[in-house]
Amino acid sequence: MSVTTVPLNTGAQLPLFGLGTWQVKDETELTVALRAALDAGYRLIDTAHLYQNEHIIGNVLHEYISSGKIKREDLFITSKLPFVAHAPEDVAKCVESQLKALKLDYIDLYLIHCPCPFKHQEGNLLPLLENGKLVFDEETSHIDTWKALEKLYHEKKLRALGVSNFSGKQLQELYDLAEVKPSNIQVECHIYWPQEQLRALCKKLGVTFTAYAPLGSPGRKAARPDGVWPEGDPLLEPVVQQLAAKYHKTAAQILIRHLTQHGISTIPKSISPDRIVENISTFDFELSEEDMHSLDNVPTRIRLFIFDFAVGHPLFPHDDVDTTIPRSGIKLH
């Protein structure tokens, strides 16, 4: 299956579809999923330091590259800087550890995972806790972190830079200060949270857009079963079900095609080989203009990830979230 791409401001091509790997830490499950994805034509693999699975991905990538099944230049690997490594002196060490885990000389796209920096324990990158809560790093600015990343960009260890979970205001401020302009932003995006204003800003700035949780992240509650999660399931939305029947596709395929048809790179997570093949099989049809409009205008508007672990942080990005809610454990996508 051939996947359409969009150009980054670096000249590289970002696939409009890839495999998300959040929550997948089991070596056997992820190895099977990655092999199924690569065999099915996936070339974009999305990971992060926080996901604790880069070493597993590295083993599979090495297997495919060293055997000649896939050329390195045909792959597009995205990873992310953890929120405890924003301090400039931590950035290079963290990236080097990720390159080693991934068994790669460079990462195609590297994102600041979260706009809110936190402190880490002495001698490692485990979060520093006080009274059971993460400790804010209120000294490191976004541009401080970005300048350290720009150095690695110039060394060609990171081929493109971007951000994740930033607000439009934060993206614009960073863009204005940066020498190497952001190439991509990755945020929650689906029919219930379509991010129209942020997408318009990205179009103006020439920043590509990646959607995580494009299906509404049905498995998100497993990240913290005792947590409070907003309710919503785009897969069950009546118009999605109707269009699935009309086009003889699954609800997931309708949601994926809706985003990719808008030029949004989409990275659903799955460990099922059958679903992995099903999810990429969305470039052989197009939704009509009328049906795109119907999906664009679903009345429900709800953010399914609220980042309550960072509530109260000076750089908390979401002004639509109730900041009086108590802080809780990490469940960052």
Candidates 92, 81, 86, 26; CA nearest to 50 is 81
Q: List all residues 6 or more positions away from 292 whose beta carbon is below 8 Å from its beta carbon.
A: 258, 261, 262
Name the residue among 141, 137, 117, 121 with its Cα closest to residue 129.
121
Task: Provide the strand spans (E) within 58-175.
Answer: 76-81, 109-112, 129-130, 133-134, 161-164
Largest CA distance in the chain: 57
| Domains of the chain with bracketed CATH | 5-232+263-275 (3.20.20.100)
Structure tokens that stand for 116 in this block: 């809110």
Q: What is the pLDDT of residue 228?
A: 66
pLDDT at 8: 98
By C-alpha distance, which of 149, 48, 145 is closest to 101?
48
**pLDDT at residue 333, as a whole number:** 62
| pLDDT tens per residue, range 218-271 | 766 666 666 667 788 999 999 999 999 999 999 999 999 999 999 999 999 999
pTM of the model: 0.94
Task: Note the pLDDT of residue 2.
Answer: 80
Q: How many CA atoms lie within 13 A of 275 on its CB side?
A: 14
Q: Which residue reads 């950035």 in tokens? A: 91
Q: Which residues of the chain have pLDDT under 50?
A: 322-330
Which positions make up the binding site?
Answer: 113
**Is residue 110 among the annotated active site residues?**
no
Instruction: Please enumerate, by residue number, every residue annotated as part of a binding site for substrate.
Output: 113
pLDDT number for residue 88: 98
Distance from chain centroid for Cα 132: 27
Here the tokens at position 41 are: 């034509």
What is the C-alpha to C-alpha distance for residues 270 and 283, in angstroms, rounded to an integer? 18
Output the pLDDT for position 329: 47
Angstrom CA distances, 250 to 21, 83, 159, 181, 256, stand at 21, 36, 35, 38, 10
Instruction: Give residue 226's pLDDT.
Output: 63
User: Residue 136: exposed, middle, or buried by beta-carbon count in 10 A (0-12, 13-18, 19+)?
Assistant: middle
Options 42, 51, 110, 192, the catalytic residue: 51
In this prediction, residue 100 carries a pLDDT of 98
pLDDT of residue 327: 42
